[in-house]
Amino acid sequence: MTISQKNQNDILNLEKINTNEIEYIFSDNPVNRLQTKPQIEDKKKLLSELRHEIENINNCELKNNAKNLVFADGNSENKIMIIGEGPGQKEDEQGKPFVGDAGLLLNKMLAAIQIKRNNVYITNVVNYRPPNNRKPEPSEINRYSNFLRQHISIIDPKILILMGSTAMESLFGSKIKISKERGVWKELIIHNKTYLTMITFHPAYLLRQADQKKYSWADLKIIRKKIDELKISV
């Protein structure tokens, strides 16, 4: 077959076959040779393209007032993805999510269910610090939710943890209340794919309302049970 006779699929398939390792081609195990899941390199490229898109956002009060973009932290290959609200002062200075007081509590919450923070993937609804740590406006939540949905599709988590009402609002809308929605598994559909999702309280809220920690602990135990059921390594 000459190049001109090949259709688009032939070319794509040939490219995929040519990038396979020899052990993979002669493996005894049945394998999907024409993989549909993004490979690690594809994922890194897609994440870097998304980062670039957010870096180039125009007419955004958040970006115009922030020092740094806060894109994400952790292991992009892990199957657990955590979403907070937005960077605070420390996060803005370091360009990393959850490194201030709320981050310290988040680390403890994860450790309580035997999750190492560096093993999971963490991002926020908005990627630039809102001026004076204000809550992001509905229009900002809406604008950034396009990026967030792309981010989730790229990471392709088995468990999505939404921390706080802003993360909940970004993906499920503003008509619902976190106190009613937390602690049960929900399904979030993005680009025809369903993501198992848990809404729970934000660590910054727990720092202000210590009496709510008992609900957070109940949610964390449900999450741990699912991690074990799905045999996710954390």
Q: How far is the CB of 154 from ligand URA (least distance, A)?
A: 19
Q: Is 84 in the site for ligand URA (CB under 6 A)?
A: yes
Binding mask 130-169 for ligand URA (x = CB under 6 A): ----------------------------------------
Q: How far is the CB of 93 from ligand URA (least distance, A)?
A: 12
Would you state the structure tokens that stand for residue 118, as one six-digit string? 């560096």
Binding mask 98-117 for ligand URA (x = CB under 6 A): x-x-xx--------------
Q: Is 199 in the site for ligand URA (CB under 6 A)?
A: no
Closest residue to ligand URA: CB criterion? 84
Question: Where are the extended beta strands (E) located within the chain?
Answer: 73-74, 80-84, 121-124, 159-163, 185-190, 193-200
Q: Is 124 in the site for ligand URA (CB under 6 A)?
A: yes
When the beta carbons of 85 and 140 are compared against ligand URA, the nearer one is 85
CA distance 90 to 21: 44
Residue 46 has φ and ψ, to the nearest 5°, of -65, -40
When the beta carbons of 174 and 191 are compared against ligand URA, the nearer one is 174
| H helix intervals, 4-39 | 8-18, 22-25
CA distance 64 to 100: 22
Q: Which of 72, 79, 88, 220 binds ligand URA (CB under 6 A)?
A: 88
Q: How far is the CB of 189 from ligand URA (least distance, A)?
A: 24
CA geometry: angle 188, 193, 194, nearest 5 deg? 35
Q: Which residues of 34-72 are buried (b: 16+ CB within 10 A; e: fewer)?
A: eeeeeeeeebeebbeebbeebeebeebebbeebeebbbb
When the beta carbons of 87 and 157 are compared against ligand URA, the nearer one is 87
Of 41-60, binders to ligand URA (CB under 6 A) are: none
Q: Which of 66, 109, 161, 204 binds ligand URA (CB under 6 A)?
A: 204
Compute how many other C-beta atoms are within 10 angstroms of the C-beta atom of residue 233: 8
Q: Which amino acid is at 211?
A: D
Q: Which of 74, 97, 130, 183 binds ligand URA (CB under 6 A)?
A: 97
Sign of CA dihedral 166, 167, 170, 175: negative
Q: Is 85 in the site for ligand URA (CB under 6 A)?
A: yes
When the beta carbons of 84 and 183 are compared against ligand URA, the nearer one is 84
The residues of the shown chain that bind ligand URA, judged by CB under 6 A, are 84-88, 91, 97-98, 100, 102-103, 124, 204
